[in-house]
Amino acid sequence: MTEETPGFEEKPDVPSGATPDDAEPKAAAPSEEEAAAPAGDTDPTVGLTAQLDQARMALSERTADLQRLQAEY
C-alpha cells in the first residue's frame, strides 16, 4: 500500500478530455524563452561569454594539473 503525502493535492498533467491532436500544436511551437537567437546576433554578451568560456577552460586545465600533481605526491 502506498502512503499519500498529507496536504498534497494531486492535479493531472493532462486534462481528462484531452486528445493527442490537442497536444501537437503546443508541442510544435517553441515558447519565447526557447526560441533561438537570430543568426546575426550582435549582443555584447556574446563576446563576454566567449571570454568566460576561455577562462573556465584555463581554470579546468589548471585544476586537472593540480589534481594530477596531488595524486603523485
d(CA 18, CA 15): 5
pLDDT at 35: 60
pLDDT at 44: 80
Q: Where are the domains of the chain?
A: 44-73
Q: List for the chain the helix, strand, coil content (%; round to 5).
A: 50, 0, 50
Whole-model pTM: value is 0.39
pLDDT at 27: 57
pLDDT tens figures, 39-72: 655 678 888 999 999 999 999 999 999 999 999 9
